[in-house]
Amino acid sequence: MARRRPRGLLLSYLLMVAVCLVAFGLYLGEARRLVGANYTAMVTDLVRAQEDPDRLQLILDSLLDSPDRIHLSQLNELLWRIPLRIQGLRRHLVRSELEPEHYAPFLDELEYVESRLPELEQAIAHVGGDDDLTLQEGRRLRELGMDLEEALAWSYSELNEVLHQASADQRRLMQRLTLAVAVLLLMLLGAVGGVLLMLYRLYEQSDTMRRLSLTDQLTGLNNRRRLLQEAEQAFSRYERQGSHLTLLLLDLDHFKHINDTYGHPLGDEVLVHFASALRNCARSMEVIARMGGEEFAILMPDSDIAAARRLGERIQQAVRDMPLPEPANGDSLTVSIGCDEAKEGDDFEKLYARADRRLYRAKELGRDRLEGSFDHPLPASYSAAAH
């Protein structure tokens, strides 16, 4: 369970990173699409309006050269369209985020154009048909046209520059905003990552403390507390399923002599080797624990007394064959074992007490013995002295 939690934290963090990246990608795409969008319609109208001054000049030149109805119709249509374009640009500018002082002079110039358009209309009112323009009328028409053309061209050109500058400013603002969002997002991910890292370390420390509280520090085997926990679960299964449950208690013979003769460091090394021998002999499903000192226990779920006897014999032989570290390599080591199988109505304390009595009997009968409630008792000569 403790290992699943850090994995869950990591997956949650990776999921959050993925969601943040997707959200930032959508934001960036939308920002690029919308940047300058406030001015798009205005710029479009302005680009179309910038064609009007050149068209006005061209039509007036054609009309002065040949005052026919086609040129007159074109000019009237243009004079009708120019005020509409000016009104549209005025509405866009008023609704925009631009400061009025940035565009007010150009609107004033366009209002001047609007005020002069009626004069141009009057000047061309009698043109067409068989009427001819006098030299003075032609000069007046050309002066009005040039004046309006210059005013329109200048206003539209300056407005175009203002709009491009505003669009560029908005683009820079959006870039800075995007950078700020990215930095904040990285800071958020960093902060959350730091919190998750601290939680992960807390879980690791908690798991380490839990394992240390259930593990014998010297041998790495389970300790008494872990054995009691496993025994509680094993007895629950035993009562539900009616299966077998057996306990072995093991005690190294004359271990005090090794400690007294060669020192406790070498004695600790012997205990580590003995723990390794127990692991090699037992199955993975069996619970091996150091009870304290040189006393060990093996809890065997789903195993009867015959299986316990076979395991005990393997352990005894492995201990006899186990070389001791120098300078104790000239000595030999044996182990006494007591085992018993759980009965109906038992709990761990009762089973442990019977196995402990078996172990005590093995010690009394000469050590290096395996004692248990076997169907076929071991011969009296079965001891260290017999082999």
Task: Quote the CA–CA distance of 166 and 154 in Å, as a whole number.
Answer: 18
User: Do strands 245-252 and 335-341 pair parallel, antiparallel, or not at all (unpaired)?
Assistant: antiparallel
Phi, psi of 370 (to 5 degrees): -120, 115
Using alpha carbons only, how large is the chain's radius of gyration in Å? 51
Q: In sequence order, what are the residues at sequence separation of 6 or more whose Cβ sits closer than 8 angstroms to the Cβ of residue 281?
A: 311, 314, 315, 318
Tokens of 268: 């600790």
In degrees, rounded to 5, the angle at the alpha carbon of residue 74 between the alpha carbons of residues 69 and 77 is: 120
**Residue 371 annotated among the catalytic residues of the structure:** no
Q: Provide φ and ψ at 323, rounded to 5°.
A: -70, 140
- Of the candidates 109, 294, 341, 371, the residue annotated as catalytic is 294
Residue 301 three-state SS: strand
What's at 249, amino acid-wise? L
Q: Which two tokens stand for residue 271?
A: 């205990």
Pairing of strands 245-252, 287-292: unpaired
Q: Rounded CA gap, 106 and 98, in Å?
A: 13
Regarding beta strands 287-292 and 370-372, do their DSSP bridges make them parallel or antiparallel, or are they unpaired? unpaired
Q: Which DSSP helix (H) or strand (E) runs through 291?
A: strand 287-292
Question: Which residues does the annotation mark as catalytic?
Answer: 294
